[in-house]
Each structure stands twice: as structure tokens, then as C-alpha cells.
């Protein structure tokens, strides 16, 4: 597996990215619209690729307040449990540090009711 980083919309990978997004259990068939991707300033896409197919993704963008927002991610259902999401997140953090970001924001489900809470996180020295 390799991780490909694309700054901007990953047009060449869009169809497969949309398929994985739609089938990820947290999105319940929701569509990832091209217009939504194109509207995100400073979009950074990390794609986990195996045999020229996307098996996972992590997307984020620069929020209008200047904080990088780690937005969406997913892994192909047959590849779950292999640490792909963790590798994508780690690589995203490394890329953001290289761009000069010191912190990022993400939303994650709580253990109570699955509600989404925003977390502002700082990078540690070990990423």
C-alpha cells in the first residue's frame, strides 16, 4: 500500500473515492459531491492506494478561521481493521506539520449516543 497526497480535488480518483465514502458505515450511503469538494479552500486529500485502487481516504481543508479541519475519512470495508485509517491520519499530520500548521480540528463520535464533538488538537513532537 502507498499513500498518495493530493492538494486540491482528486479528479482522477473521484469515482472510487465517492464509492468508498458512500459505503463507509458512518456515512450511510451519503453522496460526496464534486461541488462540495471544489468549495473547500486548501483541500488536502490523502489516498491509501493498493494495486492502483483506493482502499482508504482522509480529507481535510483550511477552515475560514485558519485552522486545518480534518473533515472526512473512510476505508474500504474489506480492508477494515488493518490500521489504514491510522496510517492516513498520521500521514495527514506529518503533511500539515510540513505546511506549518501547529494544530488541527476534527469531529469524532462520542461513546454516548454517537454524537459528533469538535476537538481542537495540537500536534505532539512524535506526531
- Show pLDDT as tens, one digit a residue, over the chain (127 residues): 999 999 999 999 988 888 887 766 555 556 677 888 899 999 999 999 999 999 999 999 988 888 888 888 889 889 999 999 999 999 998 999 898 887 777 765 444 444 444 455 555 444 4
Spatial CA neighbour of 21 closest among 73, 81, 84 = 73
Average pLDDT, the chain: 80
Query: CA 30, CA 18: separation in Å to the nearest integer?
Result: 9
For the chain, domain boundaries: 2-122
Is the whole-model pTM more than 0.75?
yes
Strands, sheet with 68-75, edge to edge from the N-terminal-most edge strand: 2-7, 44-50, 53-62, 68-75, 103-109, 116-122
pLDDT, residue 77, reads 86
CATH number for 2-122 (one of 3.40.50.2300, 2.60.40.1120, 3.40.50.10860, 3.40.630.30): it is 3.40.630.30
Query: CA 121, CA 38: separation in Å to the nearest integer?
Result: 26
Amino acid at each position: 500500500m502507498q499513500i498518495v497526497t493530493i492538494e486540491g480535488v482528486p479528479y482522477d480518483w473521484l469515482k472510487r473515492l465517492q464509492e468508498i465514502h458512500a459505503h463507509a458505515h458512518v456515512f450511510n450511503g451519503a453522496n460526496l459531491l464534486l461541488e462540495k469538494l471544489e468549495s473547500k479552500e486548501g483541500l488536502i486529500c490523502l489516498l491509501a492506494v493498493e494495486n492502483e485502487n483506493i482502499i482508504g481516504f482522509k480529507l481535510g481543508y483550511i477552515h475560514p478561521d485558519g485552522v486545518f479541519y480534518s473533515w472526512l475519512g473512510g476505508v474500504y470495508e474489506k480492508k477494515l481493521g488493518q490500521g489504514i485509517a491510522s496510517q492516513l491520519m498520521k500521514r495527514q499530520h506529518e503533511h500539515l506539520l510540513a505546511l506549518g500548521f501547529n494544530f488541527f480540528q476534527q469531529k469524532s463520535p462520542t461513546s454516548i449516543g454517537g454524537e459528533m464533538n469538535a476537538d481542537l488538537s495540537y500536534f505532539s513532537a512524535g506526531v
